[in-house]
Amino acid sequence: MAPSASRRLDRLVQALQRLPGVGARSASRMAYHLLQHDRDGALQLAQALQAAAEGIRHCALCHTFSEEEVCPTCADPSRDTGLLCVVETPADQAALERTGAYRGRYFVLMGRLSPLDGIGPDHIGVRPLLERLQAQPPVREVILATNFTAEGEATAHVVGELARALGLKATRLARGVPVGSELEYVDLGTIAHALADRR
């Protein structure tokens, strides 16, 4: 966009660059598209951003995004309060929920340990997790469902140690061959784990 042809346009292009993965070129393209073809979309997005930024907080129990003090999953009385599944993000929680195979509660860390990026236990929800583990009704098993990446494994290790220090059982999602995959195309580390954990 021509700089200073319009200050509002410059400010919009600047503000769009606050979105992750959006640089100067895509921000210009987005601003241009919205102004030329979709002003309704621009206004809807403005309202949605404001409503979300002002109305979404963290669930007091599981720490996920919620409009209420306690999110619908934590407020569901039919769920097993003794099982606590620890995940990195709401998207991970959604993936587990879609399986329909889990009826316990969750704790969403909202991040993962990443010492190389300066992200330590205090930057993710370890302190509220500690409070959660010691709260009533008691948790009898912590299921570590962080991702199977280097950071996710490190996070699982730290959270598992915390849980065990409190005398709680801590389990990790099983590693193994994905359903539907052919051994020929599965990486060696996964096959090694599947062998070691055979049942």
Residues in the site for its own copies, rule: CB under 8 A?
1-9, 11-12, 14-16, 18-21, 26, 28-36, 38-39, 41-56, 64-67, 71-73, 89-91, 93-94, 97, 110-111
Instruction: Tell me whether residue 2 or residue 101 sits nearer to its own copies (CB atom).
Output: 2
- Can the peptide bond before residue 137 be classed as cis, meaning omega within 30 degrees of 0? yes
Instruction: Tell me whether residue 23 or residue 82 sits nearer to its own copies (CB atom).
Output: 23
Strand partners, 107: 86
Instruction: Tell me whether residue 92 or residue 163 sits nearer to its own copies (CB atom).
Output: 92
Instruction: Tell me whether residue 127 or residue 140 sits nearer to its own copies (CB atom).
Output: 127
- Minimum CB distance to its own copies, residue 171 (Å): 22
Distance CA 139, CA 132 (A): 9
Contact 120, 137 (CB under 8 A): no
- Minimum CB distance to its own copies, residue 89 (Å): 7
